[in-house]
Amino acid sequence: MSGSNYENCPGIKKFIRPAPDLFPCPSCSGEVEIWSDEEVGKCDTCHKEFGRPEKEQSCLDWCEYADNCRELIKQKNP
């Protein structure tokens, strides 16, 4: 992956340009917004914190270049 950057890696885009995901709150059925680069969000209605219903595996969990990508994420999201 010499000379590569985040634009070449499809898995890192959600960390460089995070997007919100909405889940139903398990407590009150309100909306819990969790950004793609986060594991926890807060319900808009009852204000309780919840994690993602199912943690999806990220390329950072298994890719041999994950340490390089973590550095890119830190640089782009100080």
As a whole number of Å, the end-to-end CA separation of the chain is 24
Confidence of residue 1 (pLDDT cuts 50, 70, 90): very low
Residue boundaries of the structural domains of the chain? 6-76
Cα 62 to the chain's mean position, in Å? Answer: 15
Please tell me whether residue 41 adopts helix, strand or coil conformation: strand
pTM of the model: 0.59
Ramachandran region, residue 70 (left: φ > 0; alpha: ψ -120 to 50; beta: rest): alpha
Show Cβ contacts of residue 24 under 8 Å, excluding neighbours closer than 6 positions.
30, 31, 32
pLDDT one-digit tens code per residue, 21-70: 899 999 999 999 998 888 899 999 999 999 888 766 677 778 888 888 88
